[in-house]
A and B are shown apart, each in its own frame.
Chain A
Amino acid sequence: MSAHAVNQKKSNRVPPKTVEIHIRRRANPDSPQYWEVFELPYRPNLNIISCLMEIQKNPVTKEGNPTTPPVWQMNCLEQVCGICTMVINGRARQSCSALIDNLEQPIKLEPMSKFPNIRDLVVDRSQMFDHLKQVNAWVELDGTHDLGPGPRMDQEEVQERYSYSRCMTCGCCLEACPQYEGDNYIGPQAIAQVRLFNMHPSGKMTRDERLEGIMGEDGITNCGNAQNCVKACPMGIPLTRAIYEENRETVVHGLFGWLKS
Chain B
Amino acid sequence: MAEGIKIAIVGGGLAGLAAAMRIAEAGHSVDLFSVVPVKRSHSVCAQGGINGAVNTKGEGDSTWEHFDDTVYGGDFLANQPPAKAMCEMAPSIIYLFDRMGVPFSRTPEGLLDFRRFGGTKHHRTAFAGASTGQQLLYALDEQVRRYEVNGKVRKFEHWEMLSLVLDEAQVCRGLIAMNLQTLELKAFPADAVIAATGGPGLIFGKSTNSMVCTGSAVAACYQQGAKYANGEFIQVHPTSIPGEDKLRLMSESARGEGGRVWVPRQAGDTRAPSSIPEKERWYFLEEKYPAYGNLVPRDIATREIFQVCIEGKGVARENQVYLDVTHIPAETLDRKLGAILEIYEMFVGDDPRHVPMRIFPGVHYSMGGLWVDYEQRTNILGLLAAGECDYSIHGANRLGANSLVSCVYGGFIAAPAAIQYATGVQRNGSNGSGVYDQELRKQQEINDALIKQRGKENQYVLHQEMGKWMTDNVTVVRYNDKLKETDNKLLELMDRYKRISINDSNLWATMALPHARHLDNMLELARVITLGALNRNESRGAHYKPDFPERDDENFLKTTIAEYSGEGPVLSYEAVDVSLIPPRKRDYSKAKQEKQPDPAAPRPSAPAEKSRVQ
> What are 26 sample pairs from A and B whose C-beta atoms fall under 8 A apart?
A3-B345, A3-B350, A28-B506, A28-B509, A50-B244, A68-B504, A69-B512, A74-B211, A76-B40, A77-B248, A78-B248, A78-B249, A79-B343, A81-B44, A119-B508, A119-B509, A138-B146, A141-B100, A146-B612, A148-B95, A148-B607, A149-B99, A149-B111, A155-B106, A162-B129, A202-B101
| New A-B pairs, 15, CB < 8 Å, besides A150-B99, A161-B101 | A3-B345, A7-B350, A58-B503, A68-B504, A71-B504, A75-B40, A77-B210, A77-B245, A78-B343, A80-B45, A99-B349, A129-B37, A132-B142, A166-B339, A169-B39
Complex partner residue of A56 from B345, B508, B511, CB under 8 angstroms: B511
Q: Across the interface, which residues of A come within 8 angstroms of B100, CB to CB?
A: 138-139, 141, 150
Q: List chain B residues, Cβ under 8 A from A149.
A: 95, 98-99, 111-112, 607
Contact residues in B for A143 (Cβ distance below 8 Å): 25
CB of A232 to closest CB in B, whole Å? 16
Complex Cα gap A101–B22 (Å): 47
Size class of the contact patch on chain B: 35 or more
**Closest Cβ–Cβ distance, residue A19 to chain B (whole Å):** 12
- Residue A229 interfacial (CB < 8 Å): no
Q: For B92, list chain A residues within 8 Å (CB).
A: 146
Asked if A241 is an interface residue, CB under 8 A from chain B, the answer is no
Assuming A77-B246, A81-B36, A132-B145, is B101 touching A200 (CB within 8 A)?
A: yes
Interface 1/0s, chain B 91-124, versus A by CB < 8 A? 0100110111111111111111000000000000
Residues of A185-216 contacting chain B, CB below 8 A: 196-197, 200, 202-203
Contact A141 B508 (CB under 8 A): no
A116 to B173, CA, bound (A): 36
CB–CB A28/B40 < 8 A: no
- Flag A46-69 by CB within 8 Å of B: 1 or 0 each: 110110010011110000000011
Question: How long is the Cα–Cα vector from A249 to B406 in the complex, in angstroms?
Answer: 40
A136 to B146, CA, bound (A): 8
Q: Are B346 and A79 in contact (CB under 8 A)?
A: yes
| Residues from chain B with Cβ under 8 Å of A155 in the complex | 105-108, 110
Residue in B37, B98, B346, B461 whose CB lies within 8 Å of A97 = B346
Cβ-closest chain A residue relative to B613: A146
A103 within 8 A of B: no
Total chain A interface residues with beta-carbon distance under 8 A: 76
Please tell me which one of the listed residues A97, A122, A166 contacts residue B347 in the complex, with CB atoms under 8 A apart.
A97
| Option from A27, A75, A81, A166 in Cβ contact (under 8 Å) with B508 | A27
Shortest C-beta distance, A43 to chain B (Å), equals: 7
B351: Cβ under 8 A from any A Cβ: yes
Which chain B residues numbered 478 to 526 have a C-beta less than 8 Å away from chain A? Answer: 503-506, 508-512
Known contacts A27-B508, A68-B505, A81-B210, A137 near B460 by CB under 8 Å: no
Task: Let me know if B212 is at the binding interface, CB within 8 A.
Answer: yes
A260 part of interface (Cβ distance < 8 Å): no
Whole-angstrom CA separation of A138 from B102 in the bound complex: 11
Check B343–A47 contact: CB distance below 8 A.
no
Which A residues are CB-close (under 8 A) to B246?
77
Neighbouring A residues of B21 by C-beta, 8 Å: 144
Query: Roughly how many angstroms separate A230 CA and B476 CA in the complex, as a whole number?
Result: 44
B506 contacts A80, C-beta separation under 8 Å: no
Chain A residues with Cβ under 8 A from B134's Cβ?
80, 166, 168
CB proximity of B333 to chain A, nearest CB, Å = 14
Which residues of the other chain, A, contact B346 by a CB distance below 8 angstroms? 79, 97
Q: How long is the Cα–Cα vector from A196 to B102 in the complex, in angstroms?
A: 10
Q: How far is the CA of A224 from the CA of B585 in the complex (A)?
A: 66
* A3/B351 contact (C-beta < 8 A), A50-B244, A57-B458, A122-B509 known: yes
**Contact between A139 and B101, CB atoms less than 8 A apart:** yes
B108 / chain A contacts, CB cutoff of 8 Å:
155
Verify B244–A43 contact, CB threshold 8 A.
Answer: yes
Knowing A71-B509, A122-B509 touch, does A162 contact B128 (C-beta < 8 A)?
yes
Cα–Cα distance between A71 and B512 once the two chains are bound (Å): 9
Q: A28-B509, A138-B143, A139-B142 are in contact. Are A56 and B460 (CB under 8 A)?
A: yes
Q: Does A261 make an interface contact (CB < 8 A)? A: no
Residues of A contacting B95 in the complex (Cβ-Cβ under 8 angstroms): 146-150
**Contact across chains for B511 and A71 when beta carbons are under 8 A apart:** yes
Cα A125 to Cα B146 in complex, Å, equals 19
Q: Is the CB of B96 within 8 A of A69?
A: no
Which 5 pairs from chain A and chain B are nearest by CB? Answer: A152-B110, A150-B98, A138-B142, A50-B244, A162-B103
Tell me whether A80 and B211 are in contact in the complex, defined as CB-CB below 8 angstroms, given that A144-B22, A145-B612, A166-B131 are known contacts. Answer: no
Cβ of B42 under 8 Å from chain A? yes
Nearest to B342 among chain A residues (CB) is: A79
Distance (whole angstroms) from the CB of A191 to the closest CB of chain B:
16
Interface string of B453-468 (1 = CB under 8 A from A): 0000010110000000
A228 located at the interface, meaning its Cβ lies under 8 Å from any Cβ of chain B in the complex: no
